[in-house]
């Protein structure tokens, strides 16, 4: 009787394993496919953000509420960075209005102008800062690397590119 029970249990387990095998394979296939799709999404998102800049330090003036692009162009031109309306696709404030100056996201059409802004961002007024538009993962990784950067600078006076 005990032998029959063991045989029956083993046959049930084998049958269940056979039924589960295609499901496990399909699950692995779908997980791999999902990983690849997530990588494609990250790549597309970073490509979409490639020509974006985030400007910090602009007060929320009522004068420029309607046309933030004019404010950006005026500031860049005053800082000897030549730019015109045709270079900027969109510009808008990020986040909810809470009384503080919100950052401005600027979408630039021309890659050369984007790089020119990067090279000359030290010319901007003292209270205006500009950064590239990165996704959350890149920003978190950069934050994690800041202590290492500071340590490297302190020890070797070298710059760690992040």
Segment 141-150, tens digit of pLDDT: 989 988 888 8
The rounded distance, in Å, linking the Cα atoms of 25 and 23 is: 5
- Look at residues 38, 115, 44 and name the one whose alpha carbon lies nearest to residue 83: 115
Confidence of residue 135 (pLDDT cuts 50, 70, 90): confident
Confidence of residue 161 (pLDDT cuts 50, 70, 90): low
Query: What is residue 65's predicted lDDT score, i.e. its pLDDT?
Result: 56
> Averaged over 18-28, what is the pLDDT?
93
Q: Under a CB-based contact definition with an 8 Å cutoff, are residues 134 and 49 in contact?
A: yes
Structural tokens at position 39: 């990588």
Whether 138 shows a pLDDT value over 90: the answer reads no
Query: Which secondary-structure segment (H or E) carries 53?
Result: strand 52-56
Query: What is residue 63's predicted lDDT score, i.e. its pLDDT?
Result: 60
| 130 DSSP β-pair partners | 55
What pTM was computed for the model?
0.68
Q: What is the pLDDT of residues 116-128, one digit of tens each?
A: 888 888 888 788 8
Confidence of residue 33 (pLDDT cuts 50, 70, 90): very high
Domain ranges of the chain: 1-48, 50-134
Does domain 50-134 fall under CATH 3.40.50.300? My reply is no
């Amino acid at each position: 009787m005990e032998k029959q029970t063991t045989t029956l249990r083993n046959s049930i387990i084998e049958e269940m394993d056979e039924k589960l095998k295609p499901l496990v394979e399909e699950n692995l296939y779908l997980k791999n496919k999902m990983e690849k799709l997530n990588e494609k999404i990250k790549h597309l998102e970073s490509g979409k953000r490639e020509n974006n800049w985030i400007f910090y330090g602009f007060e929320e003036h009522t004068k420029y509420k309607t046309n933030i692009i004019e404010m950006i162009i005026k500031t860049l031109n005053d800082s000897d960075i030549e730019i015109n309306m045709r270079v900027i696709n969109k510009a808008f404030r990020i986040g909810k209005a809470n009384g503080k100056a919100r950052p401005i996201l600027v979408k630039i059409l021309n890659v050369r102008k984007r790089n020119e802004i990067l090279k000359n961002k030290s010319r901007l007024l003292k209270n205006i800062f500009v950064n590239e538009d990165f996704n959350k993962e890149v920003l978190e990784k950069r934050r994690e690397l800041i202590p290492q950067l500071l340590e490297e600078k302190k020890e070797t006076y070298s710059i760690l590119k992040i």
